[in-house]
Each structure stands twice: as structure tokens, then as C-alpha cells.
Structure 1
Amino acid sequence: MVDLTTLFGPECVAVVGATDREGSVGRAVMQNMLDSFEGRVVPVNPSRDELFDRRCYDSVADVPDADLVVVAVPPDAVIDVLRESGEAGVRDAVVITAGFGEAGNEGAARERELAEVAAEYDMNVVGPNSVGVISTPVGMNATFAPLGAEPGNVSFMSQSGAFVTAVLDWAADREVGFRDIVSLGNKAVLDESDFVEHWGRDEETDVVLGYLEGIEDGRSFIDTARTVTDDTPVVLVKSGRTEAGAHAAASHTGAIAGSEAAYEAGLDQAGVLRVEGVQELFDYAAILAGQPVPDSDGVAIVTNAGGPGVMATDAVGDSGLSLASFAEGTVGALSEALPDNANVYNPIDVIGDAPVDRFAEALDVALADPNVGSAVVIACPTATLSFEALAEAVVDAGEAHGKPLAVSLMGGSSTREAGRTLSGAGVPTYFDPARAVRSLDALREYREIRDAEYTAPREFDVDREHAREVLADAGRRGTTRLGVEAMDLLSAYGIPIPEGEVVDSPADAERVAEGIGGDVVMKIVSPDILHKSDIGGVKVGVPSEEVRDAYEDLITRARRYQPDADLLGVQVQELLDTSNGVETIVGTNRDPQFGPLVLFGLGGVFVEVLEDTTVRVAPVAEPEAREMIEGIRATPLLRGARGRDPVDEGSVVETIQRLSQLVTDFPAILELDVNPLVVTPESATAVDVRLTVDPEKLPGPEPEPDADTTETTETQR
């Protein structure tokens, strides 16, 4: 756990590189600090004796009681400044200077050295290449942004410095406040997980917002955010979704872009609300920070205009919410309160001539209904309606009933004062009714995240030693690709495989086939021939009397196709009855940020074409494995579509978990496909496997313990 208390609450800040030169970063940071900070601001510049009517120090080491340094010096001088700061006992730094990981090999080497110095002195470092840090509780604007921030209960981090300055300008125009703001920069030391963890502990931060182009340690982020989101919503914009966008992100910040599937899965498992753009980011922030979480999904719509009411109704249909069905007493009360031509069912239309009292009574009746969890109020300007008075009535209704509200005031300048009244009470306002509905849907999403019970991944009893030996054998053979010769790897982890054996002679092929009994499947075994069926390297339903000839034919085909291929032999395998089964795929690959991913979907030869798959970050717990099955379009096929018997979903769930454990236990496995995993009403069986391994991480054989170390080894275990 990183302690960032001083970073956001220093008493004395040293600005290294302070200057009064117009247009310089050092001047902008110094001026912002002097204009805002409640504590001491000390300029550090060996070329000056005095700056801004303050004594200027030669070094951080000379500054008494400095507890935060803001560094705005040339790149070559940054390391020395941090080292001096560390020697002086300063534990928090913000490095504004660019020219590090984003600036080629020389900059990357400089950034590694920066991280080493920070580790040596146990320093918290923001950046480098950061716009800076803002903390409104102490009035600190340690940035070179042209505007600061107003106080609020939302904390915000951004990997783009330009995004920070743009948001500050946008927020000032809309009177949006913040608690803390961090420009992450290159994240050489502190990253998004550190700030999410800190703000999760901060009782005054109600919502965490972020703009990210990459996540440094996906597994750490999932574990951190999953804990924080029990009490504090986390909402992120993650850019770089497309291949072109990911490339742009890498060149912009030096981030290594992970796959979009990994981010989708990782952020979902972390309990993060992901949005697509800035508008949604702050729409979500406004309602999550200001409104209670609804107890149910039923929404009431109260409007003085039919068209906008229909728009809101459509938006409810597109969301995870539902249009509330009013109780009989509610309909009766509305009938008494509203004119005859009003609509007393949902959406409630109070008619265009409605004064505030009629609006307020309809809203009060709707919110009292037990089937209503939240409400949208939509108002268009009329001569009979005061927006300001309506705003006060809405605030009163929200406080009286304790249910979340979102308001759509469909006007221009006439809505501003009403908007301020509502915003001051934490009620978000929008011009578009659909945005109001989507913001309420964010509350529903967060409720589901908050209420979800975390289940730890199951640890199965497996034969790790045999699995280790299978992988070690690949290392001895110098191969990085394995096929059906590695089926024992699955068996070692309790994943059922058909009876069979890899043989290297026609006689052995016949022997194995006779032992299995009945027709068999025969497959070429070669790490160099990945798509065996494309060359006729698979024979299905071979009778025992034809096994010898089939063996010779398969070897001949392989030699013709690729004369230099490493042929390990032929697999003779039990022929499964798949007439009542479904071919699925369970696979893994290793993402640079999130580590091993597990994939499930409809399998067979068309898996790449159908792309009906779901992904989770390993290790995968049972509820997550079940969600993977629910997440594919082909789920009805598994559950008995067109009169078929439903398959054994439990066996699929267990296979997903066991494969997850396998790739978590052995980092050498880069990619692994079990395709097909044939699922029947009775079981799930892995029919074929293909994997790629990292030769640098392949395990060697376990050393035999010496007699005099056996006792120690057992104790350590």
C-alpha cells in the first residue's frame, strides 16, 4: 500500500526549476502555486538568489522541511534532483519534465534510472512527462495548466496531459469541481492502481474518474479496483480500442497497448464502469457523486411534453432499466391529481400547460410507488412553468423519497439558474432525455458491481509434476510449439481427454487401436504442421484392420507437404460419439498487461469466422466461468435448442477453471487452444490441443532433494 497523503497534502513545496521567464513551465508552476497553495512555496534555482519576492535556494537539500518537490528542469538534470531530494528525506515528487520513455531509447534508459532512484529512496514519483498535480483541499495547483480546479468530491487521473488542461477549462465553464487531479505522465513509478487505491481510502472522494491509454499491471489493477468499487465507483475512458488507436497510444506515451479483449475483460472483472467519451465520463460522475443508488430498476418518467417522453422511454428500452409498472393506488392518485387528458400511466404526461404544482404532485406520487426505483423529470419551456421553481420542487422530492433523480431541462439560457440549483443539490441535468436515462443506468450498473459477491478461484488438486515434465520435454527437444503430443498436459490438470497414444510405427498404431477397440481417429503429430486437417493429416473412423495403412498414408502426406517437418509420429485416439454434443473452444493467451486470458466460445473449424467467444483474465472463478458461457450467442445450442438434450455445463465451467489454473501455474505457456472441447449431456472432453511456449520460461526437471535438505524442504512447503 502506497501512502500518498503528503503528495496531496504537503506543507512545504519546493519548485525545482522555478523561474520568472515568460512562457516557461517553471514560471507557470511557480505562479500557480503562489496563487493557490495554503502552505509554503519555495523556489529552487542555483542561478537566482530571489524569485517572486522569495529567497531562491540552490538545491532541495538547502530547503528546510520540504515534503514535496515539483521538478521542471532539463531531462539530464532530473535524476540528480531526485537523488538530492531523496538524500534530503523528501518522499514525494512530481516530475513535469518530458524526454523520458516517450523519447526513444535514450529517454527510456533515463526513465529506468529514474525508477531505480525512486526505489532506492522509497520515493513516490508522479510522471515524468506530467502536467502536474492538483489538490483542492490544500489549494495546491502544482501544474502548468492555465486554469486550476474548483473544490468537489470527484478525483480524476489522466494519462494525457492535454486532456487534463482541456477538462479543467471545460469544468470551469460548467462549475464542475474536483478533489484531486493527477496527470499520470509516463507512470515510471506511480500508476493508476496507486491512485485508485488512495482515493478508495479517501472518505471525501465519492467517484474516481480516469482517462487511460494503457494499464501497467492489469492483475494488480483488477485486484485493487475490485476492492475499491465496493464503496467508490471508478469510471474510465480507455482509448486505443482500435489497432490504429493502440498504435497512436504507444507512440504518444510509451505505453504498451494490450489487446482490447483483455481490457474489456479486465475492466469488467475490476468492477470499473467503462465509458466511450468525455461526455459520458462526466455524466456518470455527476449522478454517481450526487445521487443514491436505486433499490430497483423500475423508472418513472414525468414530462410536460409527449415527444421527449417517448425519447426517454426508448432510452429505457435500450438500457438495463425498465419502465416501472405503477401500482393501482398510484394510477388512482395520478388520475385525481392530473387533468382528464393527461397520461396517468408511465410515462406520466402532465400536459404542456402544467404549472410547477402539478409537476411536483405527479413526481411525488410516482416516487411513492414501491415499483419505482428512480425517476426522470423532463421539462420543456412554457409560459406556465418556472424552471427555477421546478428545480426546487425536484430537490424537495428527491430528499423526501431518497430515490435517485435525473432531470432533462430542454432549453437554453432559461435553464441556467435551475441547473445551478439542481447541481448544488447533486441532481444532474441534461438537455437530452436519453442522457438522463443513461446516467440513471450508470447507477444500476454500479449497484450490480457493488452488490456482486467475489468468489476466490478454486484451487484444484492436479499433477503439477507431470505437467512440468511435459513442458520440460518440449524444452529438451528445442520446440516452442506443441500439439496432440501434449494432451497429457491437460490430463495432468484433470481435463478429460480421449483414450489414445502417440506412436511412431504402424505396429504400435495397430496395438493401440486394438486396445481402444472399435474405430479410431488418427492424426499427424508435428509441431511444424499446425493445421493438420488442411493437408489431410487427420483420419476419422479408421477400423482396426486399416490402421497400419492409415499410419503410412499420414506420414507420407506430411512428408510431401513439408519435407523438413519434425515428425513425432501419429496419434491414435478413441473416436468419440459427438452426435449429441457441441464443439466448443477453450483457449488462453498471454496479454502484456493483464497476463493470462481465458477464452470460451463455439469451436470447430469456423471459430475464427464465427468469433462467438468471451474472455476473462485468469485466474477465473466459478461465477466468472458461468458468465463466460452466458456471454456467447450460441448459449441456446448448449441448452438444448431444437429438441437436443442440454449439455453438461458444469463440466465446461470446471474445464475453464482448470485451464485457468494451468496457465497461471506455468508462465511458459503463451498460447493454448483446446479445440474442439466436445461437450455432451454427460461430460466435456478435450479432443485436440495446440500450444505455444516461451523457451526462456520452460521449466527444467525438478532436482532431486539431497538427503540432508529433505527436512528443510518439507518445512518450507
Structure 2
Amino acid sequence: MSDLSTLFAPEQVAVIGATDREGSVGRALMENLSSFEGEVLAVNPNRETVFGERCYPGIDAVPDTSSIDLAIVVVPASEAVDVLRGAGETGIGTVVVITAGFSETGDRGRQREAELIEVAEEYDLDLVGPNCVGVINTSNGLNATFARGCPPEGNVSLMSQSGAFIAAVLGWAAQHGVGFRHVVSLGNEAVLDEVDFLAEWGKDPDTDVILAYLEDIDDGEAFIETAREVTRDTPLVVIKSGRTEAGAEAAASHTGSIAGSDQAYQAGLGQAGALRAMNIQEVFDFGQVLAGQPLLDRDDVAVVTNGGGPGVLATDAIGESRLTVAEFDEDLRAELVELLPKEADPTNPLDIIGDADLDRFRQALDIVLGAETVGGAVVLSIPTALFEFDELAEAIGDLQERHGKPVVACLMGGEEADRAAEELASYGIPNYFDPARAVPSLTALANYRDVREREYGSPTEFDVDRERAHEILAEAVDRGVDYLGVEAMDLLDAYGIPTPASGLAESAPEAESIAEEIGGPVVMKIVSPDIVHKSDVGGVEVGVPLEDVRETFQAIRERATDHDPEATILGVHVEALVDPDESTETIVGAKRDSQFGHLVMFGLGGIFVQIFEDTSFRVAPVTEREAREMTEEIQAAPMLRGARGRAPADLDAVVETIQRISQLVTDFPAIEELDVNPLVVSPDSVYAIDLRLTIDPEALSTS
């Protein structure tokens, strides 16, 4: 991992393409760098001076390049590769390429970017960009961007894959006094990407919170691994654009049709310890509260207000979140009764009545924050003539510091509230006009507390027959088959996943023989690589008596042929009937994601899986804790735990099955999609009843 100290703390910066021409990027850069504490050198063969200072015709013309730590490149794209090579030859180790015209512009641009990467690798350059806005370090005045405005100094670092987002944020931050530590526009990420800056800011003692605007993550595994380390001490808030992008257009499995790209990001970000913001406002709300307030040590929240309506809105927001409305015990209510007018109700939310003066507000909040049952508070106030908002803000700040519990405020008004917000900000307390924004911020404090307390553990390595599994997959590839169904149930057996006694019959007599060996009624299923959804074409019969097996074999084959006369029929799968009493049909599946690897799914299964989509996802490899969380997250979880007199399902067996499927797809990345549906769960067992999977033959040949 690169050491990016020279990127943010250079002694000398060379701007290659510097100019004072009106309306140019080079001029904007030079103007923004005028605040830099170090030295700035202008390089441009077409200028002798820039803003009255000497301009060098090339980087090789600088008398002493040994102290140049950082080069900013703003030359045309056609010249950028040669300029980068020149920087590398002079020993400059860190470069920001502002210039656009690379992979974002088509084949020629992609070729240029490949050449840029080749030069960076040759000279071991740390390169930001190309096609980026630049970088900022507020602590030393380094504003190496062409954007308008620069934020004040703060303890939050921001990266963005969108240059437009950076430009908008800088202007907004300067206007509202929101401080930042570092700001980085990632651009095309030809060399340095989000993982590099995560690692850098994770070890930076002056970065208290990391914010990220991401459109894509190239290496999901590296992102998760790095973020898990970083978020042990530094919160990470991510907004991911493109949430509604569809997954695969034509998926051969239920998992593939349900698991779109956003499910992979949702699972991956969660496993990485990142807090996901769903809009731009939340990014900065979460960042502000995480940077300024202590974490909630319990999820019970109090609401203190002098206006009943806003208090109810805040309480509604708490009820819709993971937080709870704190209970006021008898002693606490008695203490409040002594303080408040008779009309006031000493319960939560606590309305101290509109005639409250500053002293009543202060004492009420002091009592509430001092209660052991209260983890934090939302303080709401409407403007009255009985006190000034800035005085209330100071009181809130003093009490928050005294009790050491997180507080967010809703001082609702105009200019008076704006002034009070500045006072609150000096205590690290955010102020919101809308209670619906205040509560999610407190929730972020609870969510990050959970991240800090999380023990990740390692995936369980089960004793499996990997060689047998590879044989099954390789045999299919040798036959020119990339889709497998129940004929490949031995694959599950190889990984220790229970399956009913079964066999593949190519004739009616063979089906009868298998059924007699199994004994009792059986399940019969058509086996064809051309028929994915067998039930839809009448290709499944359940509870077939022994005397009807031959007739059923013929009927199933005829239905399949009527549905698709060209379909390849491999036979009929005959398997033991699993007792349906007190059993639940679930699904365990996996789909290979281009960024994160395999995404493992668990949920309510059977024929309703795509109707209800009651599912939970994790990125493989899945640990025991993560697998258990998956069983708890679905809406059908009460059914598995034993709702309405049902016997609880064997959840330990389900958790183990999820882990074994995770190990299977981790061992064989060539498996593109896989469904075990249904996985029938009973009080004392699990059985994989059906299987379908697709293989990438090329990937299998390299494994």
C-alpha cells in the first residue's frame, strides 16, 4: 500500500501546464495554490512567466527537482503520457493528472490510459486521476483543484469518484462553514483508488471520519479487507450511486434474478463496516455527528421539547428506526414532576410546555441526560420570547459535555437558529430543522458502535471432497454443458450438504427400481439442461406411490417434450419424499458478482422465492456469525424460530449449510450461479431437495 504523505504534505509542487490565461484550468489551479504554505513552480513551454513568477519550459529545466514532491498535470491528453514520463525520470514520485480525455472517452482514450498506467508502473508513481478535479489538504493550504471555493479546516476526509460532486461540495462547505481535513477527486483511478485512500486515512490521526461517494468498486475483496481494519477506529460513511441498476438480464437461477448489483454493494459495505447513506444530506449528517459526538452506549433515546408537535414527529422517527423511546422510571418522573408545571406530563417525549424559560429547559435536560436509562437525546425548541436560542445552544453544549452522552438538536427558526447552530457546532452538536434528520444521525452513532464491537472471525473450513466436486464440474464442461440440475446432487454430497436418497433414471423400469430401493412414495423431476423451471411445465410430481412410478415417468417425459420438442432430456430424477410436517422451504444460493466475488443468498424458498423475495445477502466467504445473521434478517425468521406453536427449525444446520455453500463457491469461482431450492428445514434436519447451477467453463479450466 502506498505512502501518500507527499501527496498531502509536499514541500514543493510543480504545476505542469500552468498559465494565467483567463478561463483556463491551469490558471484556476495556480490561483487556488496561492494559499499553499510550500513553494509552487510553474511549468509551461509557452509561458516565460505566470502571474509574474518564472515559468520553466519543462520539468527537466528546473534547476533542482529533488525537492519537488508533487506534480499537477494539466496538459492536453495527447501530451500527458510524455509529461508523466518526464516527471518519473526526474524522480518525482507523486502525480495528480487533472487532464481528461482518457478511458472515459472511448478506445483512443483507453489506450492513452493504459500507456499512463504503464509509465506509472515503470517509475513506481503514485498517481491520482486522470480526469479528476484534484486534491486538497486544508491544514497546509494545499488546494490543488480547479474548483471554486475551499472548505475550512476540519477532521473529516472526503473522496469521490465524481468530480462534479467534489466541485459542488466545496462550494457548499465553504458557504456553510463545514470543515474538511483532506478532499480527493479520484477520477478514473488509473493507479490509486478508494482502497489506497481508506488505508491512508485510517492511519491519519487527524482524520476522525471518512466520507466516500462511490459509483463503483473495482476490487471488492480488498475494499472489505481494508475497510474492516480502518473502521475499527475510524467511521466510514459511503453513498453509492446507481442503486436501482438492474442485475443480470437473464439469470438461470432465482439467486441470479434477485441479486442485482446493489445487493452486492449493500452486503459488501455492511461486511466492510461502512455506514451507508442513502442521499447526499445523510452523508454529511452522519459525518458531522460521528465527528462531533460520542457513540450511543444504549439505544434508548429521550426527546426534550417545548413544542408538542415537533416532539411527536421526533418520537415517530425513533419508532421507525432501530432506536427506542427511553422509559422514564418512577424516580425520574418524580424528579421531573417537582420541576415542571402541573400541565406537563413527565414521560418521554418530554414536553416542558411552551412557557418554559431557559432555566427550566436546562434543568429538564440535565435530569434526563443524568438518567441511566437514557443513552442520548434529541432536543427540540421552537423560538419564544422567554430565552435566546444562542443561550439555549450554550446550555445544551455544556450539558452534553458534562454527561458525555450524544445530543442532537432541532432549534427550529430562521436567522436566530442559524446563529445558535454555530454555537452548537463549537460543541460538535449538529442542528437540524427537521426531526426526521436528527434521529437517523443518532442511529448512525448506534450503528457505528456495533461496528466497533463486531468480531469478524474467520470462515469455517469444513472437511469436504474438493476433488470429487471438481470432477463433477469438469465432466459437465467436457460434455459441453454449462448448466446442471438435480443430476449434480453429488456435488452437494461432496460438500457435506444433506440430500435425500435419489437416483437418475433413463427409463421407466429404472425409475421403478430406484423407487423400490428408496421405499415409500417418491418425488420425480424431469432432468433437462433446457428446462430451468421444472414445475412450470409439469415436470415435477410429489408423493408418487411405487405402483405409479412407471406411468409417472412417461407422463413427465411427455410433458417436457410437449413443452419443448427440441429439449435434451437426460432422464427423470427419483428421490425420497421428505416429510413436510413442520418443515419450511428455504433457499440458499450464490451469484458471482464482478466486483465482490460470490454473493450468497438465504431466504424463504420454494415456488414463492421470486414473489416474496424475502432474502438476505452476504459476500463470500461467509463466517458462522454472518450466516446466523442471515437467518435472523428475513421476514420469515419467526417461522424458523417456531412461531404460533410450530417447533423451531434446526437453525444450526441451516447456518452450517450456508457456510458450506459459501465454501463451495469460494473454492470454485467458475460457479456463476447456484440455487439450492428448496432447502427443506425441519426441527431436526435440513435436506437439499433441488439444485441448479451454471458454470463458466473457461474459469474452471484455470482453477
TM over 0.5: yes
Partner amino acid for 2:678? P
Within the candidate set 133, 136, 142, 1:134 is matched to: 136
Q: Which residue of 2 aligns with 1:150?
A: 152
Give 2:312's aligned amino acid: V
CA distance in structure 1 between the partners assigned to 2:166 and 2:247 by the alignment = 19
Other structure's SS at 2:680 match: strand
Whether the 8 Å contact between 1:258 and 1:592 is mirrored in structure 2 is no
Whole-angstrom CA distance in 1 between matches of 2:425 and 2:318: 23
Residues 558 and 348 of structure 1, relative CA distance in 2, 3 Å threshold: closer
Corresponding residue number in structure 2 for 1:636: 638
1:389-424 C-alpha deviation (Å, 9 max, x unpaired): 112211211121111111111110112332211111
Aligned-residue offset at 1:294: 2.0
Equivalent residue, structure 1, for 2:115: 113
Partners of 1:237 and 1:281 within 8 A in 2? yes
Note the C-alpha offset of 1:549: 4.1
Aligned match for 1:456, one of 451, 454, 458: 458
Q: Which residue in 2 is equivalent to 1:566? A: 568
Report the Cα distance in structure 1 between the residues aligned to 2:350 and 2:645, rounded to whole angstroms.
44
For 2:21, the equivalent position in structure 1 comes to 21
Provide the secondary structure at the position in 2 that maps to 1:309. helix
Residues 334-384 of structure 1: CA distance to partner in whole angstroms, max 9, x if unpaired?
222333333332222232232222211111111111111111221211111
Secondary structure, counterpart of 2:574 in structure 1: strand
Kindly provide the amino acid, as one letter, of the partner of residue 313 in structure 1: T
Separation in 1, partners of 2:373, 2:95 = 52
Mapped to 1, the partners of 2:2 and 2:686 lie a distance apart of 45
Any unmatched runs of 5+ in structure 1? 248-256, 703-717
Aligned position for 1:575: 577
Does residue 287 of the first structure (1) align with residue 289 of the second (2)? yes
Q: 1:710 is matched with which residue?
A: none
CA distance in structure 2 between the aligned counterparts of 1:383 and 1:52, rounded to whole angstroms: 55
Structure 1 residue matching 2:603: 3-state secondary structure: strand
Match of 2:255 in 1: none
With over 3 angstroms needed to count, the CA separation of the structure-2 counterparts of 1:536 and 1:335, relative to structure 1, is closer
Confirm or deny: 8 A CA contact 1:258 1:593 kept in the other structure: no
> 2:532 is paired with a residue of what secondary structure?
coil
1:301 to 295, 300, 303: 303
Q: 1:121: how far off?
A: 2.2
- Decide which of 655, 658, 664 is 1:656's aligned counterpart: 658
Q: How does 1:262-281 map to 2 (within 5 A)?
A: 262-281=264-283
Could you tell me which amino acid in structure 1 is paired with residue 44 of structure 2? N
- Cα distance change on mapping 1:509 and 1:344 into 2, 3 Å: closer
TM-score normalized by structure 1?
A: 0.93
**Cα 1:533–1:345 shift into 2, 3 Å:** closer
> Contact between 1:239 and 1:246, CA under 8 Å: does it hold in 2?
no
Q: 1:619-634 counterparts in 2 under 5 A?
A: 619-634=621-636
| In structure 2, C-alpha distance between the alignment counterparts of 1:534 and 1:626, rounded to whole Å | 32
Task: Tell me the equivalent position of 1:227.
Answer: 229
The alpha carbon displacement at 1:682 in A equals: 1.4
Q: After the TM superposition, list the runs of 4 or more consecutive aligned residues in structure 1 that deviate by more than 4 angstroms.
A: 244-247
**Structure 2 partner of 1:44:** 43
Question: Equivalents in 2 of 1:377, 1:545: separation in Å?
Answer: 75
Task: Give unpaired runs (5+ residues) of structure 2.
Answer: 250-258
Alpha-carbon shift at residue 569 of structure 1 (Å): 2.5
Change (3 A) 1:662 1:61: farther
Aligned to 2:388: 386
C-alpha distance in structure 2 between counterparts of 1:287 and 1:462, whole Å: 48
Which of 75, 78, 89 is the matching residue for 2:77? 75
Q: CA separation of 1:550/1:377 partners in 2, compared to 1, >3 Å: closer, same or farther? A: closer
Which stretch shows the higher mean deviation, 320-329 or 292-301? 320-329
In structure 1, distance between residues paired with 2:324 and 2:615: 28
**Which moves more between the two structures, 672-681 or 218-227?**
218-227
1:367–1:375 contact (8 Å) kept in structure 2: yes
Structure 1 counterpart of 2:91, one-letter code:
G
Q: Deviations over 1:103-140 (max 9, x none)?
A: 12222222233223222322221111101101112210
- Cα drift, residue 245 of structure 1: 12
1:54 maps onto 2:56 in alignment: no
Secondary structure of 2:139's match?
helix
Q: In structure 1, what is the Cα distance between the partners aligned to 2:554 and 2:310?
A: 74
Whole-Å separation in 2 of the counterparts to 1:194 and 1:122:
15
Moved more, 317-326 or 544-553: 544-553
Identity of aligned residues (%): 60
Q: Which residue of 2 aligns with 1:538?
A: 540
Deviation at 1:545, TM superposition (A): 4.2
Corresponding residue of 1:31: 31
Q: Deviations over 1:448-493 (max 9, x none)?
A: 1211221211111110000010111011001111111211111111
Deviations 1:559-600 (A, max 9, x none): 443343333222222222223311111111111111100111
| 2:700 counterpart SS class | coil
In 2, the alpha carbon distance for the partners of 1:57 and 1:500 equals 80
Deviates further, 384-393 or 114-123: 114-123
**Which amino acid letter does the alignment assign opposite residue 469 of structure 1?**
E
Secondary structure of the 1:134 match is strand
Asked if 2 retains the 8 angstrom alpha-carbon contact of 1:471 and 1:699, the reply is no
Once the 2 structures are TM-superposed, how far is the Cα of residue 507 of structure 1 from its aligned partner? 4.1
Kept in 1: contact 2:246–2:261 (CA 8 A): no
CA offset at residue 244 of structure 1?
8.1
CA distance in 2, matches of 1:532, 1:365: 66
- Once the two structures are TM-superposed, the CA of residue 30 in structure 1 deviates from its matched residue by 1.6
433, 437, 440: which one aligns with 2:439: 437
Contact 2:306/2:354, CA 8 A, preserved across alignment? yes
Distance 2:206 2:277 in 1: 23
> 2: CA distance between counterparts of 1:343 and 1:552?
76
Give yes or no for contact 2:160–2:214 (8 Å, CA) kept in 1: yes
Distance 2:286 2:332 in 1: 30
Corresponding residue SS for 2:374: coil
How far did 1:535 drift? Answer: 2.6
> What do the CA deviations read for 1:219-254 (whole angstroms, capped 9, x no partner)?
21112112211111111111111138999xxxxxxx
Question: 1:610 maps to which residue?
Answer: 612
